[in-house]
């Protein structure tokens, strides 16, 4: 089965055939660096990081470009509010973004260009559009004329006349059409600016991505990605200005990730259900957040809630617990017989099933389902598995984990990290829990079962569950 991707441009799944055999050019729109990133950003960049990882694992030579928008109205407004230069704001939040991505195990792209470092290329592209008669000057502004490009709105499948009729945009009598958009903005008093043929000003938002993607990937490339919210106007405008300038198809495959909902409602600052990545990572392990984001297909909406995060944490713990058990069995030398026939079969087929899932438009949810299927069988048959099979299980899961960007901790270390976090959340320290377990054991030994039950109930009030095993009492958080 060949890799098939859902192309927003055609509205269908298509076989992925890169423009240049063996090579992939991929551009994903980066953040506007004026504030901390939210979980919608995490969703997008984890999704495209996983696509990037899978393409490389499939043998492609991938050039991945993800930009920083480091000049914009929002950045200028933040700088004015905080009494800083615009580049002090942008550099601060570039650093914050980079730290968030590192925490989420997002690999560095091949190239991370900044808009302010490509003003020369942007100006040259605008000059080309003016020469071709599809852009026009309005004082010190330059606009793109949407009626001059026949393919406008082919990505979003909208109708220009209907949009004009329903538009709620500020009227600008200088525009030839109300939907014309800015390529260059003349500087207002006190704003940062660059010199241009049209006077002092700065680039519009859309033009920067066209200029930077063409510089590093050429006039036509394979994949352009981003959130569904970017389909219109940002990606639509990129297509119009780029194809009008070059006369060539801009991007072969347009990929867009779905939205994040908060407790079944769309995430919105106005609704008060807006969470930054940093806020989430104060409560949950970064690997749990990444695992949660991979648990749904990248194009589907995903419902962010404490319930769903806790469920993702439990599922991840189950995998780590199984891997810890595998390590323990390997240390013992495995079973002396060649049993575990079902485990052997599922382990032998895991790589193929994973590939089939990922080849179906990067279906990470199905891919993780195959891992859980193996883990369930592993838990049943681990005592019967010989050493070579246990080692194969480790290797197969590790290969999948490298593509998905999870399971990169030592099992014992991860499980201990979860224990410590949960004991902290329970409002009781791990030392206190262990002390109470010792006290309970002494009570049981003295046949003081009333006290033993009281200790158990006290811990249960902190969501700490005790499990009496042949090796002694262990605890876990509910």
Q: Using only the alpha carbons of the chain, give its radius of gyration.
A: 27
pLDDT band at 457 (very low <50, low <70, confident <90, very high): confident
CA distances from 440 to 17, 90, 412, 474 (A): 65, 56, 26, 12
Q: Name the phi and psi angles at 337, rounded to 5.
A: -110, 165
- Please report the pLDDT score of residue 165 as a whole number: 55
Each residue of 385-443: pLDDT tens digit?
A: 999 999 999 999 999 999 999 999 999 999 999 988 877 776 777 777 888 888 898 88
CA distances from 333 to 347, 379, 385, 391, 435 (A): 19, 17, 10, 10, 34
**For the whole prediction, is pTM greater than 0.85?**
yes
pLDDT band at 133 (very low <50, low <70, confident <90, very high): very high
- Please report the pLDDT score of residue 272 as a whole number: 72
Angle at 286 between CA 354 and CA 64, to 5 degrees: 60
All structural domains of the chain, each given as residue ranges with its CATH number in brackets, are 17-278 (3.40.50.620), 310-411 (1.20.120), 426-477 (no CATH)
Question: Which one, of 228, 225, 204, 71, lies nearest residue 140 by Cα?
Answer: 204
Half-sphere exposure of 202 toward its Cβ, with a 13 Å CA cutoff?
19
pLDDT band at 155 (very low <50, low <70, confident <90, very high): very high
Rounded Cα distance between 474 and 466, Å, is 6
| DSSP bridge pairs for 185 | 202
Instruction: Go through the chain and tell me how many residues it has.
Output: 478
- 66: which 2 tokens? 């993800």
Using the CB atoms, write b or e for 322-334: b if 16+ within 10 Å.
bbbbbeebeeeeb
Phi and psi based region of residue 343 (left: phi greater than 0; alpha: psi -120 to 50; beta: remaining) = alpha
- State which H helix or E strand residue 141 sits in: strand 141-144
Would you call 161 helix, strand, or coil by DSSP?
helix
Residue with tokens 């959130």: 227
pLDDT band at 164 (very low <50, low <70, confident <90, very high): low
- State which H helix or E strand residue 12 sits in: strand 12-15
């Amino acid at each position: 089965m060949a890799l098939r991707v859902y192309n927003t441009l055609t509205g269908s799944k298509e076989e992925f055939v890169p423009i240049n055999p063996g090579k992939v050019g991929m551009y994903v729109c980066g953040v506007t660096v004026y504030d901390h990133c939210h979980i919608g950003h995490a969703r997008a960049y984890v999704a495209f990081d996983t696509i990037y990882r899978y393409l490389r694992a499939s043998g492609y030579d991938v050039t991945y470009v993800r930009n920083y928008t480091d000049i914009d109205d929002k950045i200028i407004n933040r700088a004015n509010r905080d009494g800083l230069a615009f580049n002090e704001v942008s550099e601060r939040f570039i650093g914050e973004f980079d730290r968030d991505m590192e925490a989420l195990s997002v690999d560095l792209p091949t190239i991370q260009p900044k808009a302010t470092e490509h003003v020369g290329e942007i100006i040259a592209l605008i000059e080309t559009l003016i020469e071709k008669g599809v852009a026009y000057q309005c004082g010190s502004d330059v606009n793109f004329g949407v009626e001059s490009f026949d393919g406008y709105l082919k990505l979003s499948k909208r109708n220009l006349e209907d949009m004009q009729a329903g538009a709620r945009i500020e009227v600008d009598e200088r525009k030839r059409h109300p939907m014309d958009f800015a390529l260059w903005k003349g500087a207002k008093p006190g704003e940062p600016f660059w010199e241009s043929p049209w006077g002092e000003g700065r680039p519009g938002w859309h033009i920067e991505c066209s200029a930077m993607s063409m510089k590093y990937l050429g006039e036509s490339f394979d994949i352009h990605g981003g959130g569904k919210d970017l389909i219109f106007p940002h990606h639509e405008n990129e297509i119009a200005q780029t194809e009008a300038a070059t006369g060539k198809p801009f991007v072969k495959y347009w990929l867009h990730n779905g939205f994040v909902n908060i407790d079944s409602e769309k995430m919105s600052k106005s609704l008060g259900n807006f969470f930054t990545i940093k806020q989430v990572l104060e409560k949950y392990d970064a690997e749990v957040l990444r695992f949660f984001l991979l648990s749904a297909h990248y194009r589907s909406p995903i419902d962010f809630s404490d319930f769903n995060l806790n469920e993702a944490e439990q599922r991840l713990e189950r995998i780590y617990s199984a891997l810890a058990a595998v390590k323990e069995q390997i240390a013992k030398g495995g079973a002396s017989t060649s049993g575990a026939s079902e485990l052997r079969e599922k382990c032998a087929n895991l790589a193929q099933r994973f590939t089939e899932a990922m080849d179906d438009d990067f279906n990470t949810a199905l891919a993780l389902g195959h891992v859980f299927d193996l883990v369930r069988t592993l838990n049943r048959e681990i005592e019967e598995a010989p050493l070579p099979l246990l080692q194969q299980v480790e290797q197969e899961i590790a290969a999948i984990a490298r593509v998905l960007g999870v399971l990169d901790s030592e099992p014992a270390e991860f499980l201990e990290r979860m224990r410590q976090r949960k004991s902290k959340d329970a409002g009781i320290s791990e030392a206190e829990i262990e002390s109470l377990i010792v006290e309970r054991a002494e009570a049981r030994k003295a046949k003081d079962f009333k006290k033993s039950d009281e200790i158990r109930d006290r811990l249960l009030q902190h969501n700490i569950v005790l499990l009496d095993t042949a090796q002694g009492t262990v605890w876990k958080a509910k």
